[in-house]
Structure 1
Amino acid sequence: MWARLSAGAVPEKERLDWFTDIIAQELVPTAIRSERADCFWAEASVLYLGPVQVSTFEFAALQSRRTAAHVRRSDPEQYQIGLVTDGAMSLDQNRGTSGLFSGDIVLWDTSLPMSSEAVPREGGLVRAVTLSFPRDAMPLRGARVERLLAQRIPGGQGMGAILARYMRSLAEHGADCGPAELNRLGTVALDLVGACLAGMLGAEEGLSPEARTRVLLERIDAFVEHNLGDPQLTPAAVAARHGISLRRLQQLFRERGETPAAGIRRRRLERCRAELADPARAGRPVHAVAARWGFTDPSVFSRSFREAYGASPTEYRHRAVREALAQEVNDVCAGRTAAVSGRS
């Protein structure tokens, strides 16, 4: 379900044509040109979430143009929304222009001509995540959505930040999920896109009650993730921040099979575990790691950690760091062996 494609398997002189074919197959047909056509590089990954497709791309500098002829020849009748995570892009469509953007989100309609430009950082590549979905899956009317085409949606604040975070998470972890989970992820993606666009248009009333609930949960998740290190992050604080009762918050989490307090504790423990397993942070005291992620009582932290992972924080750190260092040694040895074999 997670297809990965690389220009490394294609002769250099054919790579730009190869990438043009990939874009036509996974997004829409366009004409692509690049000043680096003789040494072009690109990679792509595609994952299907029911009616939603998430694609990741990294590629060298290029310019693309989708003409009316392209539209007549092939149109999936989709909205597509792109997040640039490295480098910058610009997009023009429907008399609108995004200007160069990075870290932000832009929406386009496959049924209209458009043009774009990709500009990497010096010596790097442009990296982007794209969501594609049928236009009729959007709860907002087309005339309203049309006002947002090629308009930058800030990826660092409000619903734009939540949507950008979700898109990055899909790209990083979606391949680990099973079919049923992927369908649910697609549903949430549509809800977040709808909520983000509705917020920009002042049209929240167009969202269904179910969609509003799922979006509320994503907002709560983003708030919790951002504030895990705050000892004052409690279920009551979360409920108050989102204008709901503590009982309502508990009902939302009950569908996930855990209480709000358990969910906060689990995420804090996950952050602590990741930090304790990092050899680069082996000198940081265990109690400092715990405090960094909101645990104010070392004994409570140690007991909770042992219950979750079957070892004390110190025992876990020693084992994890030892295994990580051993793996590094093995990798170095394997690299030297491969180099010697290559020379012989």
Structure 2
Amino acid sequence: MNFFNTYNNSTNSAGFILLGFPCSREIQILLFILFFIIYILTLLGNSSIICAVFWDQHLHNPMYILLANFSFLEIWYVTSTVPNMLVNFLSRTKTISFSGCFLQFYFFFSLGTTECFFLAVMAYDRYLAICQPLHYPTIMTRHLCTCLVVNCWVFGFLWFLVPIIFISQLSFCGSKVIDHFLCDPGPLLALTCTRAPLIEFTWTILSSLLLFIPFTYIMGTYALVLRAVLRVPSAVGRNKAFSTCGSHLAVVSLFYGSVMVMYVKPTSSHEAGTQKTVTLFYSVVTPFLNPLIYSLRNKKMKDALKKFLYAKN
């Protein structure tokens, strides 16, 4: 079975039309400029965190190594959608090939899945650091940290592999217009020649498991962290613990809050406007805000970024 190049009929070879954000040509150009700036700032922000972590010896510990890997993930996550969106703003045909659509589909959801796993691993790291500080160096070793990072990537790219393969084998009829700015399962399944309730149900189950299991784990972990922090007698110690955990919780809230709106219900049940708005938030806005959240709320990260920037000037 060929993964992304199996064309079920001659119409599939024509690809799809990504409608994007229908508006006047002038507004399209303004949107292009806006999202181009956001994209560049996202790349710069996340790249700065990666460089600061690897440049500053004080940040060579699991917490910041995970953060650097997370920033690397965010770079590719936003790159899976925004460049094509920018081309779409300037294009008059707004077409995307069948293979290009499913490649975007696969990488976007694989990277998003990897992000869910990374957020859970980062919560586990904070739990160990705060609730078991004496055992932290012996538990969270460099070897374990590396294994966790590798597993996040491997399971992230395997989670939706089979459903995406099956969706790519379906026949697509009609106008081939996807009322979205990316290839999403809801609009794609709506274009199939026949309904695929089993695939849609499977996708919903996998999405729900992916979201609720890590999210429940993160919330349970932070409940234990909160209990441990409240027992700290020093106000300075409590503030330091809240500072390191607050950044991660803010990112978790932004990401999971928006994603759960989309994928805990059947994928074809949302209106196009809701799909675009919510998807735009967790796929573009959240990766843009993450570097700001981590750098502004973390004193070590702010100091490392200052040293790195001053050293380059």
User: Larger % of strand: which?
Assistant: 1
User: Larger % of helix: which?
Assistant: 2
Which structure ranks higher in relative contact order (CA pairs < 8 Å, sequence separation ≥ 6)? 2
Q: Same fold (TM over 0.5)?
A: no
TM-score (norm 1): 0.27
